[in-house]
Amino acid sequence: MYVVKRDILRRQDIVEDVQQLKVVGSTVLAVGQALAMVVVELTFVFSTQRKTNYLICSNKIHQHMMFTQYNTMAMNE
């Protein structure tokens, strides 16, 4: 009886361990996906910001357009 009880308890522990590993695995997966989304978003913002700064600083933009863009940026903040 003792051996059977010990075997049952050991199997229950294994099942609980597997369930905990599934929870941890899904949590790690969710955190990894969120981190990947943040990295993609920051990369997009960084690359877009460089292009915007280039356009603002270049001589190819009319002065009125620069003034309008600065006003828009000031209003958004």
Range of the domain at 29: 2-76
C-beta separation of 69 from 58 below 8 A? no
Which residues touch 55 (CB under 8 Å, ≥6 apart)?
A: 61
pTM to 2 decimal places: 0.46
If phi > 0 it is left, if psi is from -120 to 50 it is alpha, else beta; for residue 62 that is beta
What total of structural domains would you count in the chain?
1
**Residue 1's pLDDT band (cuts 50, 70, 90):** low
Query: pLDDT tens across 19-69, in order?
Result: 888 888 889 999 999 999 999 888 887 777 666 655 555 555 555 555 555
